[in-house]
Amino acid sequence: MTFASLGLIDPLLRTLEALDYRTPTPVQSKAIPLLLKGRDILASAQTGSGKTAAFVLPLLQRLLQEGPSVASNSLRALVLVPTRELAEQVHDSVRSYGQHLPLRSYAVYGGVSINPQMMALRKGVDVLVATPGRLLDLYRQNAVKFAQLQILVLDEADRMLDLGFARELDELFCALPKKRQTLLFSATFSDPIRQMAGELLRDPASVEVSPRNTAAKSVRQWLIPVDKKRKSELLLELIGSRGWDNLLVFAKTRKGVEQLVTELQLAGLAADSIHGDKPQPARLRALQRFKDGEVGILVATDVAARGLDIDDLPRVVNLDLPIVAEDYVHRIGRTGRAGSTGEAVSLVCADEVDQLAAIETLIGQVIERRDEPGFIPDHRVPQTAPGGQVLKKPKKPKPAKAVPGKSKVHLGSWFEEGEKPKVRAVRQMPRLGDGPGPKKKR
């Protein structure tokens, strides 16, 4: 199958040829013809499978062929994403695929000044990529209007709900025209998301090119049990002994990210960070430095779990397991993309066994364990079983309670039943105040 057979127009085909896109991926093969027909779609596919091109290419073609020119402060297609990094990533794809088309695009998100964004929207844009919070701010200030909206795309909708955007999404959906084409794309779909899709989509086509919530087969997964306090020490050992470089490391908290970056830099390693407390320009700069090879290690929270498209990233390390099991799939999906292979290594302590079991339930496999000499944990990580079950150790029997009036020496093993000597109870000495005479007041 070729891109031409999917019904794409010549300008897009020439761009794809220049980008060396030869054969459509499964999700592209199934989704593009449906989108060109105007169908609503609920599409699920693994990370790195070409989901962005699957909706951007037909979206650009429909905008070019249908509808009037965009008016001031208006837009014709809206792509909602959960994070700033993903907004930039998707917008880069829109500009790349539409480089030979007379269409305008823009991206808006928080963390930067709103005034330049308001100025840019005055001329109107054909495609707007946005995070929900900033888009709602612009709408409330009449900087953006939805009357001309033809196509709505929710990319990683499950993550938007995880980040607490439910209220913003409800308000935005009320402001959008009901007559539109709606597309939901993600690598993972929870049951609540599918319920929301049922309310938003009209007679949707379902596209699933892999089992729900599965990790990419191109990523080799394994874990190392280790005590929590020795995780950063183990990471430094692995980097030094195995020659790891070009490494993306995920930590649970912003504080943990900065602590690890400090330790790596003190060890003489070039490292940078991405997390929610960091200004957006600094986050983009850190990502670009990592892509350019100026720093070999990028440490991030889950804001970087989705949308980061890094060429030939060989390895992802989970310093901490994510709280939400689906985020594990997205984290390790940063490697092993576009047909290449990758490796995902998790450093797991005993406190994380429930998270580990939830992840293994989600992906339908037990992750291989490898002990690292010198780092065998004092607090062992309980074994898990297929289906994410934690195999708990049998409880030790409690010691027998002493029975009043009986000797602590058990004679039953020394005598037959009829030969046990009669033992008189030893008379206890009276306590002070228990004897004859007036008792002392207590």
Residue whose structure tokens are 């060109």: 36
DSSP letter, residue 352: G
Q: Give the model confidence (pLDDT) of 93-124 as tens digits.
A: 999 999 999 999 999 999 889 999 999 999 99
The whole-number pLDDT of residue 210 equals 60
Mean pLDDT of the chain: 84
Give pLDDT tens digits for 319-333: 999 988 888 988 888
Partners of 384 in the beta sheet? 390
- Of the CATH numbers 1.25.40.340, 3.40.50.1220, 3.40.50.300, 3.20.140.10, which one belongs to the domain with range 219-390? 3.40.50.300
Per-residue pLDDT of 168-210, as tens digits, reads 888 999 999 999 999 988 766 667 677 777 888 888 898 887 6
Return d(Cα 105, Cα 228) in angstroms, integer: 46
Strand pairing class (151-155; 125-130): unpaired
Q: What are phi and psi of 69, to 5 degrees?
A: -65, 150
Beta strands in 3-132 (DSSP E): 41-44, 75-80, 105-108, 125-130
**What stretch(es) of the chain map to CATH 3.40.50.300?**
4-208, 219-390
Q: What is the Cα–Cα distance from 157 to 165, expressed in whole angstroms?
A: 9
Average pLDDT of span 216-243: 92
Give dist(CA 400, CA 412) in Å, integer.
15
Per DSSP, what are the bridge partners of residue 225? 348
Q: Are 374 and 227 in contact (CB under 8 A)?
A: no
Task: List the one residue out of 344, 351, 387 whose CA is nearest residue 366.
Answer: 387
Q: Which residue has the higher pLDDT, 305 or 361?
A: 361
Q: Identify whether the C-beta of residue 325 lies closer than 8 Å to the C-beta of residue 359.
A: yes
Residue range 4-208 forms a domain whose CATH class is alpha beta
DSSP 168-194: HHHHHHHHS-SSSEEEEEES---HHHH
At residue 110, what are phi and psi to the nearest 5 degrees? -75, 180
